[in-house]
Structure formats: C-alpha cells, structure tokens
Structure 1
Amino acid sequence: MSTLDALSIGALVLLGLILLILLLQSLRLRGIWQMMLACRTATRWARIWEMENRELRSALRAEKAHVEQLQGKLKILQSLLPTS
C-alpha cells in the first residue's frame, strides 16, 4: 500500500466521521425543533386559558355585584312587609 493509498483511505475515514457527526447533529437539531414547536403550542394554550380565566373572573365579579344588589333589594322588601 502506497502513501497515496493510505492518505486516500484516511481522507475517506475522515469524511465518514464528518458525515456521522453531521447526521447526529441533524437528529439533535430535529429534536430541539420539535421541542420548540411543542413549547410554542403550550404557550399558545396558556395564553388562551389566561384570557378565559380573566373573562371568567370578570363575569364572577359582575355576578357577585348582582347578587349583592338583589340582596339589598330583598332587605328593602322585607323591611316593607308587615311583621306579625
């Protein structure tokens, strides 16, 4: 085996190693990309749930105010009724 053959085989092995490293990096980046997409979806759902929670809290405050108003009216009506 001549020096040129050994050099060619060494270059071929080095190219194979580089190809393997690139393949592993590609798989790793694909996993990171999938994780990023999952986080983006989770963030979107979290925003939706937060908006729904705000709306529900607002509706609850309005409902409590309505109940208080009705209780006040009930007290006024009860005070107007003759007690026996």
Structure 2
Amino acid sequence: MNTLDMVSAGALALLGLILLILLILLFQYLRLRGIWQMMLVCRTATRWARIWEMENKELRSALRAEKAHVEQLKRKMVLLQALIPTP
C-alpha cells in the first residue's frame, strides 16, 4: 500500500465518521422535534384546562347564587302563605 492509498483510506474513513455523526445529529433533531411538539400540545391542553376550570368556578358560583335565590323565594312564599287566611 503506498502513501496515496493510505491517504485515500483515511479520507474515506473520515467521511464515514462524518456521515455517522450527521446521522446521529439527524436522529437527535427528530427526537427533539417530537419532544417540542409534545410540549406544545401539553401547553395548549394546560391552557384549555385553566379556561375550563375558570368556567366551572363561575358556573358553581352562579349555581350557589341561584340556589340561595330559590331559598329566599321559598321563605317569602311561606311568609305570604301565612298571611293569606285559610277558610
């Protein structure tokens, strides 16, 4: 094997190493892109969960107010029925 053949073999090995490193970087990129997409989905889901939580809180508050109003109307009805003379 002469010097030119050794240089060619070294260059070929170096190109193979560069290709291997590029493949590893490509797989890392694809994996990170998948993680990034998952993070975006989680962020969106968290945002919607907060919105639904706020809506549920508002609805529970409105329901409590409505129940209190119904109880108040029932008490008024009992008082008004007590005022009406029964024959």
Length-normalised TM-score, structure 2? 0.92
Deviation digits for residues 17-75 of structure 1 (CA, Å, limit 9, x no counterpart): 00011111111111111000000000000000000011001100100000000000000
* Identity %, equivalent residues: 71
5+ long unaligned stretches in structure 1: none
Matched, 1:38 2:48: no
The AA in structure 2 aligned to 1:48 is: I
User: AA paired with 1:43?
Assistant: T
Pick from 18, 21, 26 the counterpart of residue 23 of structure 1. Answer: 26
SS at match of 1:17: helix
* Equivalent residue letter for 2:9: A
- Structure 2 stretches lacking a partner, 5+ long: none
For normalisation by structure 1, the TM-score amounts to: 0.95
SS at 2:80 equivalent: helix
| Aligned residues between the structures | 84
**Corresponding residue number in structure 1 for 2:12:** 9
Please give the root-mean-square deviation of Cα atoms over the aligned residues, in Å.
0.9
2:81 corresponding residue in structure 1: 78
